[in-house]
Amino acid sequence: MKSIFFLLAGLLTLLSCKQQATNAAVNNQESEVFSQQKKSDLMLLGCYTYNNAGDRVRMEITEAGTLVKGTLAVRYNEKDANTGSFIGQVYGDTLVIDYTFQSEGLNSTRQMAYLVLDNKLLEGYGELNAEGTAFKDLGALKFLSEKPLVKTDCNDNMSQ
């Protein structure tokens, strides 16, 4: 009878230790995710600009939490300008937004993606759906560094 008692006590101790180890692992993962999210939040808030050879882009991220929100103005030389707002999320090191904008009097929405890299945002390019409004595969995007949006002071006016 005593051996059954000790066996049950040992088994309960093992189960308790395993549960504590599992809880510790989950807490560590949650802490790591929270730390990464806070790092992304702090890094993303603010203004990002590109200004070269008549091409101008200005993004202002006004909220960065579960959802990322802000405004975007794009003026490429010899193309129609567009201005609007966006809402999106950060997935690892990638910001994916739905950009609602106005160009030539028409309202449109399209998906955009940016790689967050050293206080820069690199725009992602890839195959679009039939409507041309969203990427077919976010995992297949190519991020080009030809026109990086660089973090700048929001008080700087680019004469947009």
Each residue's pLDDT tens digit, 109-119: 999 999 999 88
Of 101, 145, 97, nearest to 121 by C-alpha is 145
Same domain, yes or no: 35 and 82: no
Q: How far apart are CA 70 and CA 59, in angstroms?
A: 7
Q: How far apart are CA 6 and CA 20, in angstroms?
A: 21
Q: Is residue 137 very low, low, confident or very high in pLDDT (cuts 50, 70, 90)? A: very high
Q: How far apart are CA 106 and CA 126, in angstroms?
A: 24
Same domain, yes or no: 81 and 9: no
Q: How far apart are CA 156 and CA 59, in angstroms?
A: 12
| Beta-carbon-side half-sphere exposure of residue 30 (alpha carbons within 13 Å) | 6
Q: How far apart are CA 64 and CA 41, in angstroms?
A: 5
Same domain, yes or no: 66 and 107: yes
Average pLDDT, the chain: 81
Same domain, yes or no: 56 and 121: yes
For the ranges 32-46, 55-69, 72-86, the lowest mean pLDDT is seen at: 32-46
Same domain, yes or no: 69 and 110: yes
Same domain, yes or no: 6 and 64: no
Q: What is the pTM of this model?
A: 0.72
Domain assignment present for residue 31? The answer is yes
Domain that holds residue 20: 1-44
Domain assignment present for residue 126? The answer is yes
Same domain, yes or no: 35 and 21: yes
Q: Which tens digits make up the pLDDT trace of 46-76?
A: 999 999 999 999 999 999 988 999 999 999 9
Q: What is the pLDDT of residue 105?
A: 84
